[in-house]
Amino acid sequence: MSETCAIRITGLEKVFPNGVRALNGVDLEVKEGEFLAVLGLSGSGKSTLLRCINRLLDPTAGHIEIFGRDITRVEGAELRALRRQIGMIFQQFNLVKRHSVLVNVLSGSLGRAGLFRSLFLSYTAEERERAQTALSRVGLGERGASRADALSGGQQQRVAIARALMQEPKLILADEPVASLDPALRHSVMRHIEALNKESGMTVVCSLHDIDLVTRYATRCVALRDGRLVHEGDPADFTIETLRHIYGAEAEFGFHG
């Protein structure tokens, strides 16, 4: 049997209402089990790409198959079912700061209606147990009762990972998950994302700025420039020339590859 495609993107274009062409003909396949890093300067289209993949944004043209189903062509219950397979991790964590850590994690089990239910309804014992398990998995099993904003940035991002785990997703989209963190905390978050990939077999697509993190964690790397894919390869094969190609000739690198 051939390798299964987690994501197959063809001819993807996104033009915003103001006329900005953020994605300009992207073709990309992500195999099940890959840890794909997406590189590129600010404004190159990384967030737009990730948001089109789970249809937080509607593409202008092109197709995106998620495990064989075209997410650009489904609506309603089918779209929600497909989205449930996709866990999203954001640069700014997107936790409800004044809620407890556990309530933030529980909201992940419910998709988009979660916040309302987390405020007004109770959860089943089974959901609470799963939330507790997810928290323990990211090393925060003792912090469920804390207010979310009492935690460090690295811990808050681990809460966001636990929240994504509540969906039991097959695919994780992480949009610069460590860009808001002190460098000393970045590995503590990246290692948990790595564990989702290596231990739980989840496919990961993760935009990153730091080349060291790409070479350390990703199994493959692509780069965007002005909405087009300009590079695809093994992070171990990075050279200064590759980086110049991605970032432009004026870029400077402290390169230890």
Indicate which single residue of 9, 40, 165, 205 sits in contact with ligand ADP (rule: CB under 6 A).
40
The answer to whether residue 46 forms part of the interface with ligand ADP (CB under 6 A) is: yes
Instruction: Report the residue number, 47 or 242, with the smaller CB distance to Mg ion.
Output: 47
Instruction: Report the residue number, 46 or 55, with the smaller CB distance to Mg ion.
Output: 46
Instruction: Report the residue number, 43 or 139, with the smaller CB distance to ligand ADP.
Output: 43
The answer to whether residue 106 forms part of the interface with ligand ADP (CB under 6 A) is: no
| Torsions phi, psi for 30 (to 5 deg) | -120, 120
Only one of the segments 44-52, 62-70, 109-117, 193-201 lies at the binding site for ligand ADP (rule: CB under 6 A); that segment is 44-52
The answer to whether residue 20 forms part of the interface with ligand ADP (CB under 6 A) is: yes
Q: Which amino acid would we find at residue 236?
A: A
> Do residues 92 and 86 make contact, with C-beta atoms less than 8 angstroms apart?
no
Which of ligand ADP, Mg ion, none is residue 43 near (CB under 5 to 8 Å by kind)? ligand ADP
Give the CA count within 13 Å in the CB-facing half-sphere of 41: 17
CB 116 to ligand ADP: min, Å: 25
| Torsions phi, psi for 95 (to 5 deg) | -85, 160
Instruction: Report the residue number, 22 or 103, with the smaller CB distance to ligand ADP.
Output: 22
Instruction: Report the residue number, 143 or 225, with the smaller CB distance to ligand ADP.
Output: 225
Binding site for Mg ion (CB under 5 A): 46-47
d(Cα 220, Cα 107) in Å, to the nearest integer?
32
Task: List the Cα angle 159/160/165 in 5-degree steps.
Answer: 95
Question: Strand 5-15 vs strand 21-31: parallel, antiparallel, or unpaired?
Answer: antiparallel
The answer to whether residue 186 forms part of the interface with ligand ADP (CB under 6 A) is: no
The answer to whether residue 2 forms part of the interface with ligand ADP (CB under 6 A) is: no
The answer to whether residue 44 forms part of the interface with ligand ADP (CB under 6 A) is: yes
**For 106-143, b where at least 16 C-beta lie within 10 A, e where not — what string?**
bbbbbeeebeeebeeeebeeebbebbbebbebbebeeb
The answer to whether residue 22 forms part of the interface with ligand ADP (CB under 6 A) is: yes
